[in-house]
A and B are shown apart, each in its own frame.
Chain A
């Protein structure tokens, strides 16, 4: 009995020793192997499940596509890029957790991610604390300029204000419905627009502001209200910051109640090619959207990108949209900045990024500004029957993104300047850093 036991122990330990040696050898081999192929890690922080998966999944694919293309060109600084994809599942606190995981555990050099403003606000402290870089690709409400974040989507002056100007000048709109989903982006944008419209002489009674919950599906009352508001003898338009899924029932109700784009046009800031791909576009014909990019824009760079993207996704019908272009620009800027300082060190890259230029897909060259926003052209497009947009108006040149809105009292004196002043909210009146939002 006893001998049997000792025998067992000795065989076991021998086996264990063998296993350990083998493991060590293998580990060493793997280590040296890893050293030979050291990669630069790029974090992708987009929801792949939950409510926001509808919009964010495409952006994940876009970053993977861009990394693939870059690796075909030999990577960056002679190293291959490696994507680290995580799924924050449309859950705002989880965004912060996953961001921390990407930076501390996976040691990524840069993160491309977030869609909603609340997810961005939730990861901000993490990026500040761990000093990493986030590229944020979606149009947003502004009023922010952070050292660790680069905003490649539109600020309000690159989307909302030009759209309103177009309606005022070309469609001679005198009465405004500002309709939005009830959260931070529509509320801030509408506050800015309201102030802007009033500065243009629009009276309070000619502005109707309406908020609806997320995923609102019964639009009968609101559409009837819009119809009533629009029958005051003045040309009326709807400026829509309605988000995501709620758009489809809204447009359906407009169409069913017989409101055509020629009567009351709707200009939307959150409806793009991707959103239109899944719906019947009949009721939407002629309604407008304001973006910095449309798939239908004829430009060699755009055509090349669409072709490569459709080949990569193996889907000849796959559409492209504005936030994707923002990632394309942001990615190229990051690559250029890394190659300029020959390092992926966050501090060096952050300092190198302002001033970096990258070709956008609509024939211009966007530039990263000291306030970490970029210059972009603004287009107004009309929805066509095939789910694409027909550009009816565009700004003559590129518009520089304002981090702080000039229309709001609290922010009109603030600027973001991470080059000269090293400050995201520098007050030009008091010449001090730190105003609102510090």
Chain B
């Protein structure tokens, strides 16, 4: 009883001491009050704290807000103390700047939601306008352009006067125009000038700014804004055509990549290979395994994971392809229906095998840093992963073409497809060539899997989604002709992407299918029909 009482007494005493130690300095000024609000774990309090800290002019404001953005700001809900963990691991008390040895046990990172993240971005924009790094100044000006916060005007005017960097100067001018456009007491002349500057920028954000302009502006400004919107719109419409063409090329490259292996097994050998998609899937899973090993053993090599995965995926899928040819398909040559059923069954077996081995859920395949993000070309956004896949596909295509043209194996392959009996009489081991051809087609499907793992799910169902498209491309392009596959893939890709904005994704796909059916009625052998004896064989 008495011990209990003593404990309680000690606790009360401690609480009083704590209050004395921490709350009293917290009452010292508005800045400290604002910082303490971060500890309330309440989104509207955090919002107020961001605003108050950002405008306080305190040198700690920038470290606090940037720590908040990066999740390095933590708060102790009991003592209401807030801490900044620096990028170098050093911890300081956010209110005083004093160094702290370690975080209290119950300190938790200050939480943000999207509204607050926007507030943080805007605040940081205001705080980094005077940063010595021009790239940071430009980024800050961009975020002011978006938020058109009036409070930043004085800083921008000051910065603009001594700015020497050309890019930063342009960004500041645009940010200033954005503010003036929305500033209630700006003169009509200022606003008209602002409209002209924003119009010259000419992108979607400029349009957003102009369309967001309310109806309470002078009629002259409203008229100028309307004409600026119209001119930006027509400019953007032209760019959207370019964009569609690029998207079409990109979709075409994916189709080509998925179909190019099939162009060998189905196109050159004539095997209706329904398990082709599963070879793609196996390539993707090879990438996953490679990345897993790299993640656990050699994390530094992550950016090279795809380069390592490409040859491995080729070997794994190629070896499985040779096994399939030797084990099943060679007994079924000349019996297309049986081949179709056998390979269809095989595809289900492979899918379920992978599902049992790796589980039914998606597997995580990361994008290396050089495949993430995008860059702007005029008014269109080009994503790096799509660009690399396009280059990669073309490289695979050229290598394959060269292989068929200039190597002994390629020569034998062409000989066997053109006239099997003649080739056999010339001493070519046709059954060995069959196995290697099928292995080559499967290996290339495996390589496709490496690339597709970057844009799609790695799951046992991966292959199924590409098999129909692959057959479509090969049949449309002309069976047995690699160039036909190339042209077919890009034609279908571009047609699809020009139809999609008009008809929607679902109808667009149906329309393409109908067009292909009609086309095949007219030209049963596809775009580039093979001529001569091979056709009859």
Contacts and interface: CB of A to CB of B under 8 A. Distances in A.
Contacts of B43: 392
B113 A220 contact: no
Contacts of B455: 217, 249, 252
B431 interface: no
Contact of A390 (B111, B362, B505): B111
Interface string A215-240: 11110111011011011111000000
Interface in A37-79: 48-51, 53-54, 57
A238 to B, nearest CB: 13
B114 A248 contact: no
Contacts of A279: 362, 364, 457
A410 interface: no
B208 interface: yes
Interface string A274-290: 11011110100010100
Interface stretch (B97-105, B157-165, B367-375): B367-375
B300 interface: no
Contacts of B367: 252, 280
A211 interface: yes
Nearest to A216: B505
Nearest to B255: A218
Contacts of A215: 461, 465
A49 B348 CA distance: 10
A258 interface: yes
Contacts of A233: 207-213
Given A220-B250, A256-B372, A277 B207 contact: no
A210 B250 CA distance: 21
A258 B213 CA distance: 24
Interface residues of A, number: 54
B426 interface: no
Contacts of B384: 256
A431 B363 CA distance: 53
B204 A211 contact: no
A423 interface: no
B286 interface: no
A181 to B, nearest CB: 10
Contacts of A245: 362, 457, 459, 461
A213 B506 contact: yes
Contacts of B211: 231-233
A215 B456 CA distance: 9
A222 B459 CA distance: 23
Contacts of B7: none
A217 B465 contact: yes
Interface in B481-503: 497, 500-501
B207 A231 contact: yes
B499 to A, nearest CB: 10
Given A182-B506, A256-B372, A256-B384, A265 B114 contact: yes
Interface string B206-250: 011111110000000000000000000000100010011001001
A144 B124 CA distance: 50
A232 B209 CA distance: 8
A253 interface: yes
A101 interface: no
B169 interface: no
Contacts of B363: 278
B46 to A, nearest CB: 12
Contacts of A255: 372
B251 A218 contact: yes
B338 interface: no
Interface string B504-524: 111001000000000000000
Interface size class of B (residues with CB under 8 A): 35 or more
Contacts of A220: 247, 250-251, 383, 386, 497
Given A231-B204, A256-B373, A278-B361, A211 B504 contact: yes
Nearest to B117: A262
Interface in A1-43: none
Contacts of A253: 383
B355 A53 contact: yes
B232 to A, nearest CB: 10
Contacts of B365: 280
A319 B113 CA distance: 23
B381 interface: yes
Nearest to B376: A258
B48 interface: no
B385 interface: yes
B505 A392 contact: no
Interface string A288-305: 100000000000000000
B45 interface: no
Contact of B501 (A48, A51, A225, A227): A225
Contacts of A213: 505-506, 509
A211 B362 contact: no
B114 A261 contact: yes
A228 B204 contact: yes
Contacts of A282: 372
Contacts of B364: 278-280
Interface of B: 43, 111, 113-115, 117-118, 121, 204-205, 207-213, 236, 240, 243-244, 247, 250-251, 254, 351-352, 355, 359-367, 372-374, 381, 383-386, 455-461, 465, 497, 500-501, 504-506, 509
Given A170-B113, A221-B244, A224-B243, 13 more contacts: A53-B460, A54-B362, A54-B459, A228-B204, A232-B211, A233-B210, A233-B211, A245-B362, A252-B385, A256-B384, A257-B374, A278-B362, A286-B114
Q: What are the 3 closest A-B residue pairs judged by CB atoms, nearest first?
A: A233-B212, A278-B362, A231-B204
19 contacts: A53-B460, A54-B360, A54-B361, A57-B359, A57-B361, A210-B505, A212-B505, A221-B501, A225-B501, A233-B210, A253-B383, A261-B114, A265-B114, A277-B362, A278-B458, A279-B362, A279-B364, A280-B367, A286-B117
